[in-house]
Amino acid sequence: MKKISYLLIVLLSLIACEGDRGPQGLDGGVLLGNVYEINRDLLPQNNYSTLFEFPLDIEVFESDVVLVYLLEEVINDEGGPANVWTPLPQSFFFDDGNQVVYTYNHTYFNANIFLDGNVNLDTVPDEYIFNKTFRIAIIPAKFAENNPNLNSYESVMQTMPDGKIIKID
């Protein structure tokens, strides 16, 4: 019986070592994320959505976290203008009780950002449709596990000191 148990343990350990090696960290285990900024119109002919395809030069894994932030406003601060980034989904309510929601879904090759709500989107004011700026953060799963506040854009960027925002036209 001991021989069978020993053989089973050896066999299982050999099987566990097969397969491709997973993503590796850089510079001693530091994982880098990517942040992209896009400015888009959410047009009716595109079902009030925009599709952002991840650049081919980065590899996004199923386990990675994709977050999208909306530039909600720019405020004046002592140091100059400051951007206010809000994580999606984000709802905006109208005086009549109706609402629109900016939301998104994603795969490992793109993010689809869209407008939704309980109102006829054809009647939504232009400010909710045109010239919207979004930041899409692709965060390695290991980083996401160790970052307690992924809802805060500032928190995400502070813990990725080497992270650059790549603006896409």
What integer is the mean pLDDT of 124-139? 94
Domain spans, the chain: 29-168
End-to-end CA, the chain:
67
pLDDT at 49: 97
The alpha carbon of 79 is separated from its chain's Cα centroid by a whole number of angstroms, namely 28
12: helix, strand or coil: helix
- Per residue in 26-78, pLDDT (tens digit) is 344 444 678 899 999 999 999 999 999 999 888 888 888 899 999 999 998 88
Mean per-residue pLDDT of the chain: 78
pLDDT at 22: 41
**Using CA atoms, how far apart are residues 142 and 160, in angstroms rounded to an integer?**
13
What percentage of the chain reaches a pLDDT higher than 70?
Answer: 67
pLDDT at 62: 85
Of residues 128 and 27, which shows the higher confidence score? Answer: 128
Tokens read off for 49: 């959505």
pLDDT at 153: 67
**Using CA atoms, how far apart are residues 93 and 11, in angstroms rounded to an integer?**
60
- Per residue in 88-112, pLDDT (tens digit) is 999 999 999 899 999 999 998 999 9
Altogether, the residues listed in the chain come to a count of 169
For 63, residues 6+ apart whose C-beta sits below 8 A from its C-beta are 141
pLDDT at 1: 46
Q: Give the CA distances from residue 12 to residues 2, 6, 16, 19, 119, in Å, rounded to whole numbers and listed in that order.
A: 15, 10, 6, 14, 57
Tokens read off for 150: 């992924």
pLDDT at 166: 75
